[in-house]
Amino acid sequence: MSLKWMSLLLLIQVMYCFNAGSCGKVVVLPMEYSHWLNVKIILDELVQRGHEVTVLTSSASILVNSGKSSPFKFEIFPTSLTTEEFASLFKRCVNVWTYEFPKYSVWKFYSRMQSMFEEYSDVFEIFCKYMVFNEELMKRLQESKFDALLTDPVVPCGRPTTILELMAKADIWLIRTYWDLDFPRPLLPNFEFVGGLHCKPAKPLPEEMEKFVQSSGDQGVVVFSLGSMVSNLTEERANTIASALAQIPQKVLWRYEDTTPKTLGSNTRLYKWIPQNDLLGHPKTKAFITHGGTNGVYEAIYHGVPMVGIPLFVDQPDNIARMKAKGAAVRLDFTRFSSEDLLNALKTVIYNPSYKENAMRLSRIQHDQPVKPLDRAVFWVEFVMRHKGAKHLRPAVHDLNWFQYHALDVIGFLLACVAALIFIFTKCCLFCCRKFPKSGKKKRE
């Protein structure tokens, strides 16, 4: 398997694919962190509708197998890694991406990126080998006769294969965006854009939190989170942020697990966990400071909240660039922004009404769909189970080799025709010149 590198390309916009089956039993090979939180929404709905869901994960699982009671069956295969080692891999990646990459030259960036992805790929190759060479597990899975496989191509793993072969087998691609976040571009009929499938109307906040939010009066509140992978910052960054937040008239709810920054204002409260969707749906929420992860951005779009984006890694800069282009966000550069930059960004998205208007416009697009994203996602999983696949949506391009894909056979044939014509024409001319050389001369004479 040479899976190194390529996964980054897929990470950004494609998420899960299904393979053939008929009805009732789904096996899932998920990814960790926000990917798991997102796919879990689909799995919960499948269980609600009476399907049996089996989650395939390693003994080093971080969030997937949290040990809590779950409506899913678990198939946990042993690996040589521990949960701590696995989590530290992600932590290292996040730190390198967040703090080191911005300082690098282009060449150093690419060489460091490559070595990072090699490390990342090696770990997933270990998981993959521990899974596919576990004969007992493979036998049990085969005997289970699953109707559909739901997988996340950011961790591709398979039966000797290439990534292209593996991809081509997917019947349906559930893409984790929609045309509010994304810009229109060509797609294939087996792509279903289900971005925001996890969003739902806000539930009431915990009592203490509601009191704090209400205490903000007409000024309202700002919600701040850097996502499930980043829970602490360097002291310098934390103080820069805290001192900016201290200067705004809004109250701030900041999800942060590290020690309290010295410059923290009385208007700002730190929380180890926040009910993010419920907060973003609260009528007092004026702005969202976000790292630009797809889940958070979609919650802000759903509830029409303008954003200050501080993107850190992978698809986050892309997401924020899109929100900025659509007029619903201001972007800050994580390693470089000053307190004043953050303060100005917050003032802009809160007091320039165009940001709220654009966020509301995106919200209307998100809400006004013929079928809700979660229902569409579940529909196509069930479709694949009912019809043993979705072959009618599979483009024939997957059956072409690279030669045919680029129409080189057609071009070659046409060139051969042209060459043959030129050859015949030249031969004819030469023949004529030799046959009647004197007639020409005579005329001239």
Cβ-proximal residues to 304 (8 Å cutoff; 6+ apart), any chain: 356, 359, 360, 362, 363, 364
Give least dist CB 301 to a second copy, A. 12
Helix axes 437-444 and 408-435, enclosed angle (nearest 10): 60
Cβ 53 vs Cβ 73: under 8 Å:
yes
Q: Is the CB of 395 or the CB of 437 nearer to a second copy?
A: 395
Give least dist CB 298 to a second copy, A. 15
Q: Is the CB of 104 or the CB of 383 nearer to a second copy?
A: 383
Give least dist CB 105 to a second copy, A. 20
3-state secondary structure of 362: helix
Give least dist CB 101 to a second copy, A. 26
Give least dist CB 134 to a second copy, A. 36
Give least dist CB 186 to a second copy, A. 4
- Among 178, 204, 207, which residue's Cα sits nearest to residue 193? 178
Q: Is the CB of 67 or the CB of 184 nearer to a second copy?
A: 184
Give least dist CB 288 to a second copy, A. 21
- For the chain, the first-to-last Cα distance in angstroms comes to 78
Q: Which amino acid is at 214?
A: Q
Q: Is the CB of 86 or the CB of 380 nearer to a second copy?
A: 380
Give least dist CB 251 to a second copy, A. 33
Give the burial string for 12-32 (b: 16+ CB within 10 Å, else e): bbbbbbbbbbeebbbbbbbbb
State the CB neighbour count (10 A cutoff) for residue 413.
11
3-state secondary structure of 202: coil
Q: Is the CB of 247 or the CB of 369 nearer to a second copy?
A: 369
Q: Is the CB of 188 or the CB of 408 nearer to a second copy?
A: 188
Q: Is the CB of 190 or the CB of 294 nearer to a second copy?
A: 190
Q: Is 271 left (phi over 0), alpha (psi -120 to 50) or beta?
A: beta
Cα–Cα dist 313/323, whole Å: 16
Q: Considering Cα of 300, then 301, then 307, then 312, what sign does the dihedral take?
A: positive
H/E run at residue 31? none
Give least dist CB 380 to a second copy, A. 8
Q: Which amino acid is at 109?
A: F
Q: Which residues are near a second copy by CB under 8 A?
A: 179-180, 183-190, 193, 364-365, 368, 370-371, 375-376, 379, 383, 386-387, 392-396
Per the DSSP assignment, residues forming a β-bridge with 57 are: 76
Q: Is the CB of 132 or the CB of 365 nearer to a second copy?
A: 365
Cα–Cα dist 191/143, whole Å: 30
Cα–Cα dist 316/227, whole Å: 11
* 8-state DSSP, 16: E
Cα–Cα dist 140/26, whole Å: 14
Q: Pull the structure tokens for residue 404.
A: 């045919």
Per the DSSP assignment, residues forming a β-bridge with 180 are: none
Maximum C-alpha span of the chain? 114
Cα–Cα dist 424/150, whole Å: 58
- Among 353, 363, 204, 364, which residue's Cα sits nearest to residue 298? 363
3-state secondary structure of 299: helix
Give least dist CB 173 to a second copy, A. 12
Give least dist CB 51 to a second copy, A. 17
Q: Is the CB of 103 or the CB of 185 nearer to a second copy?
A: 185
Q: Is the CB of 20 or the CB of 343 nearer to a second copy?
A: 20
Q: Is the CB of 37 or the CB of 365 nearer to a second copy?
A: 365
